[in-house]
Structure 1
């Protein structure tokens, strides 16, 4: 299982298939699970989506087809009742329960769209993610957590303001690279584990992040923090050293260097 995690850290960004990668990450917590059933379900969704919308050319029509199949026929929806349930960020559980977080549902929507050759990306918002469907020089934004509802300018501004406070510009919305999406998925799990007092579980998740996405400095910082909390000083030094190798931000480098000097002094 960990071979797949190591492979994710080595392959090129555009080689990552989000549904396959998310299932591989989930399998780490479900040892012995046969993924064939889950791939069969994904194939069935793809087949149905192709039947309903394979010939559609416009972004709006494709978004409607995704909503009709994923939310309408297969019943995938946002879990607003038990939002913080860790199962919502685990694609195996999401496929079983047909419920999930914005990021896990966005992975499903984008993966299904890409299987048909459609242009689709996960969009990063503070505390939320959306999906961008593009075609023929037009695009639409939808919210998989809300059954694929279209997100216009006003709704987008409201979502950003609710998460980050007033005054934030909607022009900061950006498509997320594949690894960043997967890091976001694991980050949700790690945050909930730490909130529940399970630091060891959170640390394991940060180890997965740094293995899968070694160029993301935040995960190394959080990993070092939890290693220090676990009195694993040598491991924390190693994580901070790795962080120092990848970041070029002067302020961040000073912060890491200061921490390394303090650990060396100790």
Structure 2
């Protein structure tokens, strides 16, 4: 798969609705868009095998237990505690090979398997950490893909929320702490992580790519184009920065805010 082919996949997914969002294929396309000409088939094979195994387990186990045992025990998908900042931890193809990564990537395999096995699950955009919400006969529960898919009790969710800086009256609201997000938003969360990491390393080309992927996945949102513009400006690609700012303005960014940015870039061009 080439970078252009990856862009085509993300563009089509961005124009489609939420039902049937091709999460795994979009995540593969995101990885290829960053580093093209790699073989994504091992990631697909892992996902296929995990879905089949999960369906077998779910026939005799509770949904949460089946997911944990399948993904963390059978297929050894887990968080990378020792090398948390390793670049491969945010790349789905690398994670499929290493079986280690960040929760924002691991949750994609959990979600894909759950969908294909007929289980009800969704990502939870928890502060600083992506969790998995699983519907069970006893009610929804939270799993942590980074920590061997273990169950996260409500009291621990509150403690984590308080450590993340949420106010006590919010940290006590289980309905807020476990609010599900769409598969599209789960993948966008991963791109946000990549954008932040790229900026911290002054990898402005990588920051631009991750911001562009967010723009393709959610074409009605003006904010990714502001990040594209910022990354291009830092690379000296000033004409491209102006084009991105114009896209943001057309999608709803306040005109005054865009004018200030455009004036700054034009001054550099002159």
The answer to whether the superposition gives a TM-score over 0.5 is: yes
Query: Relative to structure 1, is the Cα distance of residues 246 and 127 closer, same or farther in structure 2, using a 3 angstrom cutoff?
Result: same
1:225 maps to 2:220: no
Q: Secondary structure at the match of 1:169?
A: helix
What is the rounded CA distance, in whole Å, between the counterparts of 2:108 and 2:99 in structure 1? 13
Aligned to 1:188: 193
Aligned to 1:148: 149
Aligned to 2:206: 201
Aligned to 1:112: 113
CA deviation string 1:107-148 (max 9, x = no partner) = 111111111121111001221111101144721111111111
Aligned to 2:82: 81
What is the rounded CA distance, in whole Å, between the counterparts of 2:250 and 2:85 in structure 1? 34
Query: Relative to structure 1, is the Cα distance of residues 150 and 208 closer, same or farther in structure 2, using a 3 angstrom cutoff?
Result: same
Tell whether the 8 Å contact from 2:106 to 2:146 is kept in structure 1 after alignment.
Answer: yes
Tell whether the 8 Å contact from 1:118 to 1:135 is kept in structure 2 after alignment.
Answer: no
Q: Secondary structure at the match of 1:260?
A: helix
Q: Give TM-score, length-normalised by structure 2.
A: 0.86
Q: Secondary structure at the match of 1:80?
A: coil
Tell whether the 8 Å contact from 2:233 to 2:265 is kept in structure 1 after alignment.
Answer: no
Tell whether the 8 Å contact from 1:91 to 1:104 is kept in structure 2 after alignment.
Answer: yes
Aligned to 2:258: 256
Superposition RMSD in Å = 2.2
Tell whether the 8 Å contact from 1:227 to 1:233 is kept in structure 2 after alignment.
Answer: yes
Map 1:1-266 to 2 at 5 A: 1=5, 2-54=7-59, 56=61, 61-136=62-137, 138-164=139-165, 166-167=167-168, 169-170=170-171, 171=173, 172-173=176-177, 174-247=179-252, 254-263=256-265
Q: Which range is displaced more, 88-97 or 185-194?
A: 185-194
Query: Relative to structure 1, is the Cα distance of residues 258 and 92 closer, same or farther in structure 2, using a 3 angstrom cutoff?
Result: same
Q: Which range is displaced more, 153-162 or 128-137?
A: 128-137
Shift of 1:35: 2.7
Shift of 1:254: 4.0
Tell whether the 8 Å contact from 2:34 to 2:209 is kept in structure 1 after alignment.
Answer: no
Which ranges of structure 2 fall in alignment gaps of 5 or more residues?
none
What is the rounded CA distance, in whole Å, between the counterparts of 1:17 and 1:206 in structure 2? 19
